[in-house]
Amino acid sequence: MEFHAILTTLVMPPLAPLLGLLLAFIFWCFPAASPFAKLSLPLAMLSAATLWICATPAFSAWLGGQLGKAVRDPEAVPQAVVILGGGRYRDEKSGNERLSATSLERVAWAVDKAPEPLPVMVSGGRVYEREQASEAELMAELMQKLFRRPATWRENCSRTTAENAVNSAALLHDSGIESVVLVTHWWHMPRAARVFARAGIQVQPLSVGGAEELLPRAQTGLLRWLPSAAALLRTQVYWRELLARAWYYWRPLPPVRAC
């Protein structure tokens, strides 16, 4: 998992354009007559421009628009709700763990928006070795304590969206369930819905938020073209989704993962 994360980071901003700037500096150290030295200035300008553009609200909003939306199956009659985990916060010293803001949003959204009579599955395991409780356990505990809504199933073993799908499908099929309301963020939903469909589960998407949720003051005038940390973070999220979508397209589904 860490190896995949490193590879993904290498091809995304800010690291990719920063590596371009580093390479430009190395080329600049070559003799002036060298073709590498002549490439240093164009490469530096291209890398700086790429970093600037990727950190603008205008670009992040455009990139988010390329993700599209998951297609709703009009004939699907959901029999359960599936909430996908979205990470956790962990204190390395104390070992205390709690749900990330992304996971909290998904749980709260599902409790508020999903049909109440339907049973709920929470899906998410331990991504890294030092993690203690699975994301599913953290979500189930929060739902019970804060919202007084129990989780019928806890899928505790998955580490990726593809494993979310195959592990959840195995548990759901054992219970005779073929169609679900799937809860995750809008930028994650197209990939998640597609891989759940490949695993044999009909999906009715219930997306948290939407592509139009950016702050209005960050969408108008000159501010659209001024870099910001928030815009760069959104660019990272959207770019990662596009890369993962291409990866999933060429890869077969993984086997059901045991803890």
Give the chain's mean pLDDT. 91
Which pLDDT score is estimated for 1?
Answer: 55
Q: Classify domain 80-210 at the CATH topology level.
A: Rossmann fold (3.40.50)
203-246 pLDDT tens trace: 999 999 988 776 666 567 888 899 999 999 999 999 999 999 99
What are the φ and ψ backbone dihedral angles of 99, each rounded to 5 degrees?
A: -65, 145
Q: pTM for the whole thing? A: 0.91
> Per-residue pLDDT tens for 92-135?
888 789 999 999 999 999 999 999 889 999 999 998 878 889 99
Q: What residues form DSSP beta bridges with 147?
A: none
CATH 3.40.50.620 domain extents, the chain: 80-210
Asked if the model's pLDDT at residue 179 lies above 90, the reply is: yes
Mean pLDDT to the nearest integer, 26-53? 93
- Report the alpha-carbon distance of residue 96 to residue 78 in Å, rounded: 36
- Does residue 174 register a pLDDT over 80? yes
Q: Looking at the predicted structure, is the pLDDT value of residue 85 above 90?
A: yes
What is the C-alpha R_g of the chain?
A: 21
pLDDT digits (tens, 9 = 90+) for 180-208: 999 999 999 999 999 999 999 999 999 99
**Tokens 């962990």, residue located:** 90
Separation in Å, CA 229 to CA 12, 52, 61, 101: 14, 11, 14, 17
